[in-house]
Structure 1
């Protein structure tokens, strides 16, 4: 199986930088909107100068944090010249499982709550960062898989964005809004695997092409 792709730029992060971003995520969980460069430096046991060197200002740190969290949703690529229904299904199910695991984490819930509170408030644009480096970036990474399935004759759609939005909706359903509002929809490992498989089956029912033997 081919190695899963991370979102753009995260391959270059050092283990130390990843630890700093994890510290920033933990602070978002604990303190919400009160994330500062000083607080991250203290929690990560590094200097503010190092943070500014690596990430620029606070917006740069937030953007890197969002990208790091989004990179945990992997996309297993398919071989464009040798796509079969099994590899296509495995790629879609794996993406769905990872996305559900990520959005159900306390770090993603905290990050999304802060982003929603910032939307339209004239603050630092965290909402736009989350959209650009989260949902939009995830679409960019999955669409080549959808396009490969279409070229191989297993999928039929006119627009990859519409197909992606359908799949995204089948996977997410009402889960994310329930999480943001403090409800826990029972996302155990087994439930996540079942939801991912069901969403993939539903998507293939809507967009799949039955090939003759």
Structure 2
């Protein structure tokens, strides 16, 4: 059985509480995030933070990885992958991703990363790209490649194919949210958007056995 990594396999429950505290501080607008502020909010010592995550960039990297790990392609069986299972897995991924990027925590994290990008203030922009968008791509590509092997998809480059899928799912949602649009979608609306995006994607890349 192939599956995307579960969001709770990399960090212990206590470490996840600390990372959630970082996200809370970012949502509150704590741009100048410090180890002291995180330790106070998470009720732990700075020594523990340094032991677990290294320095501040290590803590931010772990936070991004924790947030990005919530986007999963679900469970799928490479040996028995069919059109229905592929569509279900892609829709689950799409709905999951839309839900995560629409959360206050993701919006806050991305806003801070954009503000820091190219400013020399921190490596948060690079950290978000490497452990967010790029890591998510690597999480879904095995499913795309398995679907190609099964004759369900036809493509030459997995990265280009993923970028197309990413664009169909995300559309302008993330940009609108980052710019302050009060876009709010119900679970049913997100599911409908995911279903529509996957249908468009399969029409573009559907293979022929």
TM-score by length of structure 1 reads 0.94
CA contact (8 A) 1:32 1:114 kept: no
Task: Mark the runs of 5 or more structure 1 residues left unpaired by the alignment.
Answer: none
CA contact (8 A) 1:171 1:196 kept: yes
CA contact (8 A) 1:4 1:76 kept: yes
Return the offset for 1:2: 6.6
CA distance in 2, matches of 1:36, 1:210: 54
Paired residue total: 209
1:178 to 176, 179, 185: 176
Going from structure 1 to structure 2, the CA distance change for 1:96 and 1:18 (only over 3 Å counts) comes to same
Structure 2 residue aligned with 1:26: 24
CA contact (8 A) 2:60 2:124 kept: yes
Alignment of 1:183-202 (within 5 A): 183-202=181-200
Structure 1 residue aligned with 2:58: 60
Going from structure 1 to structure 2, the CA distance change for 1:77 and 1:145 (only over 3 Å counts) comes to farther
Task: Mark the runs of 5 or more structure 2 residues left unpaired by the alignment.
Answer: none
CA contact (8 A) 1:23 1:40 kept: yes
Structure 2 residue aligned with 1:6: 6
Return the offset for 1:82: 1.6
Return the offset for 1:79: 1.9
CA contact (8 A) 2:68 2:136 kept: yes
1:42 to 19, 40, 43: 40
CA distance in 1, matches of 2:60, 2:186: 29
